[in-house]
Amino acid sequence: MVASRNGRYLSTDSNKVHEPFKSDSDKVDEPFKVEEAETVNVPPPPTEKLLVLGGNGFVGSHICKEAVDRGLHVASLSRSGRPSINDSWVNNVTWHQGNLLSSDSWTEALNGVTSVISCVGGFGSQSYMYKINGTANINAIRAASETGVKRYVYISAADFGLANYLLQGYYEGKRAAETELLTKFAYGGVILRPGFIYGTRNVGSVKLPLGVIGSPLEMEHGSSTCKTTQTDSPCRALVYSPVKVTAVAKVAVRAATDPVFPPGVVDVYGIMRYSQQRAA
């Protein structure tokens, strides 16, 4: 105990409760009181956690690499899981196995995820194409919106006129998934619609340089007077410029993580434009 100027005794023991002050004149030179430190549960700073659906495929693996290079926490989900590529970025991805068509065998992969990019799609019979491009993606979009995912990017595909009829299941599936995305993620949903995507495709541990075909085509179409996305264009089916897989990956990761990236559909020329902008 210590005596104050006005003769009152003050305790130096911080656990003791002092008499409340009645007026300014009552105030004493009380020693600075240090409260005992408390452990407060403050959540860790928010971190982006990206889940790439189909991250072991052609487009998905480039997206995973781009996201790892940008320092994001990256996970992938697909039926076969970790690919047999020897690149170092593969070790920085968490690989989950699961089938989007089987009810909830895979939903644990969404824990803590802030954004999703879906590269799940494929070809086959009309009904299979509808299921893999449509139903599988609709399941994923619904589950993601229920677990609080903020942003969702779907790799869809440009229309190809006549091929739309031949690949009816493919396009109907794509458009059904797009509609679901714009409904469930009105503010954070982005649809990329590339035409032909070229770049290095990993088949097992072999790398196939598809750029040999795509790159000259992109240059050709880049200067084409027929470059248009208008639906009544006679050359629409053939002139969608091929786009490099690294450009698709760059735009997809940006769309999934940049909160001001506008929601909605991005066509092939939009993909090219965004890919030439510097990352934020």
Name the residues that contact ligand NAP, by CB under 6 A.
Answer: 54, 56-60, 78-80, 99-101, 119-122, 132, 136, 155, 157, 194, 196-197
Q: What is the dihedral angle through the alpha carbons of 223, 63, 177, 271, rounded to the nearest 10 degrees? A: -20
Closest CB 224 distance from ligand NAP, rounded Å:
19
Provide the terminal-to-terminal Cα distance of the chain, rounded to the nearest Å: 60
Closest CB 52 distance from ligand NAP, rounded Å:
9
- CA dist 137 and 121 (Å) reads 8
Closest CB 101 distance from ligand NAP, rounded Å:
5
Question: Which is closer to ligand NAP, CB of 14 or CB of 111?
Answer: 111
Question: Which is closer to ligand NAP, CB of 67 or CB of 100?
Answer: 100
Question: Which is closer to ligand NAP, CB of 136 or CB of 144?
Answer: 136
Closest CB 163 distance from ligand NAP, rounded Å:
11
- CA dist 120 and 136 (Å) reads 8
Question: Which is closer to ligand NAP, CB of 10 or CB of 265?
Answer: 265
Question: Which is closer to ligand NAP, CB of 3 or CB of 206?
Answer: 206
Question: Which is closer to ligand NAP, CB of 53 or CB of 72?
Answer: 53
Closest CB 53 distance from ligand NAP, rounded Å:
6
Q: What burial class does residue 266 get, using C-beta atoms within 10 Å of its C-beta: 0-12 exposed, 13-18 middle, 19+ buried?
A: buried
Closest CB 44 distance from ligand NAP, rounded Å:
30
Q: What burial class does residue 277 get, using C-beta atoms within 10 Å of its C-beta: 0-12 exposed, 13-18 middle, 19+ buried?
A: exposed
Closest CB 58 distance from ligand NAP, rounded Å:
3
Cβ–Cβ < 8 Å for 249, 52: no
Question: Which is closer to ligand NAP, CB of 72 or CB of 157?
Answer: 157
